[in-house]
Structure 1
């Protein structure tokens, strides 16, 4: 049976974390969230670690949340929903504030929470065929637990467009708005990642960690405990809203949500 994630560390101290649910396009649920948080716990205890690479097996990097899982959680208690949102937010927050330099290698789809994961990484390289979307609102949900990291990555102006429309955009647009740093042919993704890792390793570890900490002091993603709790509570409550219930139903029934009036008729 496949493991949810794969972990590896090489002789240089480069840790590679590979999302390993290609059969569902690496969509996240509680199992994947817990696996990644566990990996980050273990990473904190490795003194020789120098850098973290986040990648994924299969055609797609990360297709957002498993909507079936979200629908099941929505039917549980309010406390259970808060726990689910808190764990999701912790994943992105801890990745964002990890003292090590982080690199994400993206292929295929990177939707919803996947955009939060890469926004929380220091460096992102995408295959030219990658596609992106911040589409939580299309399902009656909200992306607010990843908004701080996305605002740091692409700025409020671009975030207002893509989080409010939910539209998909390609790797060239992701590069233009700052969500990714480099776009390469799919066959060059791994090699480009190795080149960047080599650049990272040429820098002193403590100096790198202190530089990253100084940068994060200027960032939206370095949240206070009060702000973190507020975003988690809002995220959890929205999952149990009437709009979310309709969004889950529209996904399950493969139809447009009731709030979409359709395109206007063209008068002739």
Structure 2
């Protein structure tokens, strides 16, 4: 049972709702621990194919709870390090899930909230969404979220926004690669559902392998080692039951078994 989250299951789709709407889904040690546990549990659930991350209320997530940050500021270095490791671990757990993940961003995604959106594989934003790496305004830096933001928007854009803490609207977020799609508030869920349907058509093992492939190949020089690595990956995957089923289904003009009836 969670106190800061709700898990909604709809067939093969699980939605994790951050459920602190009165605090704009700002996270503290409890939400961090619960989100970590939820990601681990859903990643291990064979009935779940896609995970959507959303926030109840007006905001996706306003980042770190200021009361939690105030407590941390009064703690020693060891306590601060433990808190930072827990946050970094949660983000990595989310980012490295084998299942496809979608961030459903309907409102503010600030600081760590912007990090959560970046840690998901796909981000869909409402036209009312707004993003910012606002940490420098509090005398800190977006450290734990930086690997995922750099992956999403690149070092050049991050150099600007990490220092200015400017607000980024949905259109600008799409322009710089932070989100994949922007939809009007009333069509946000339909856009998420459209992407979910596309994901459900793919083989689950192939999708997990595709995510691992990107981590292995990104920013690597194209040399003999990398070419050999990619050859081994596709050769091993072609020999799996899922690949045989996918190819047979295509040739037989039928749906593969992972799509159900």
TM-score, normalization by structure 2:
0.81
**How many angstroms apart in 2 are the aligned matches of 1:131 and 1:117?**
14
Secondary structure, counterpart of 1:76 in structure 2: coil
**How many angstroms apart in 1 are the aligned matches of 2:203 and 2:49?**
9
Q: Which runs of 5+ in 1 are unaligned?
A: 221-268
**How many angstroms apart in 2 are the aligned matches of 1:164 and 1:216?**
27
1:213 equivalenced with 2:212 (yes/no): yes
1:71-150 to 2 correspondences below 5 Å: 71-150=70-149
- Cα deviations by residue, 1:83-111 (Å, 9 ceiling, x for unpaired): 10001001111111111110011011110
Equivalent residue for 1:9?
Answer: 9
**How many angstroms apart in 1 are the aligned matches of 2:49 and 2:154?**
29
RCO greater where, 1 or 2, for CA within 8 Å and sep 6 or more? 1
CA contact (8 A) 2:36 2:94 kept: no
**How many angstroms apart in 2 are the aligned matches of 1:3 and 1:82?**
24
Q: CA RMSD in A?
A: 1.3
Equivalent residue for 1:30?
Answer: 29
**How many angstroms apart in 1 are the aligned matches of 2:76 and 2:143?**
21
Equivalent residue for 1:160?
Answer: 159
Q: Which runs of 5+ in 2 are unaligned?
A: 220-261
Secondary structure, counterpart of 2:182 in structure 1: strand
1:142, distance to aligned residue in structure 2 (A): 1.1
**How many angstroms apart in 1 are the aligned matches of 2:18 and 2:135?**
21
CA contact (8 A) 2:43 2:99 kept: no
1:61, distance to aligned residue in structure 2 (A): 0.5
1:28, distance to aligned residue in structure 2 (A): 0.8
TM-score, normalization by structure 1:
0.79
1:101 to 1:82, Cα distance in 2 relative to 1, 3 A? same
1:219, distance to aligned residue in structure 2 (A): 4.7
- Cα deviations by residue, 1:161-220 (Å, 9 ceiling, x for unpaired): 111101111101001000001111001111111111000000011111101110122458
- Cα deviations by residue, 1:207-259 (Å, 9 ceiling, x for unpaired): 11101110122458xxxxxxxxxxxxxxxxxxxxxxxxxxxxxxxxxxxxxxx
1:48, distance to aligned residue in structure 2 (A): 2.0
CA contact (8 A) 1:25 1:58 kept: yes
CA contact (8 A) 1:9 1:15 kept: yes
**How many angstroms apart in 2 are the aligned matches of 1:88 and 1:136?**
15
**How many angstroms apart in 2 are the aligned matches of 1:84 and 1:172?**
33
Equivalences, count: 218
**How many angstroms apart in 2 are the aligned matches of 1:175 and 1:101?**
20
CA contact (8 A) 1:152 1:219 kept: no
1:145 to 1:70, Cα distance in 2 relative to 1, 3 A? same
1:192 equivalenced with 2:191 (yes/no): yes
1:40-79 to 2 correspondences below 5 Å: 40-79=39-78
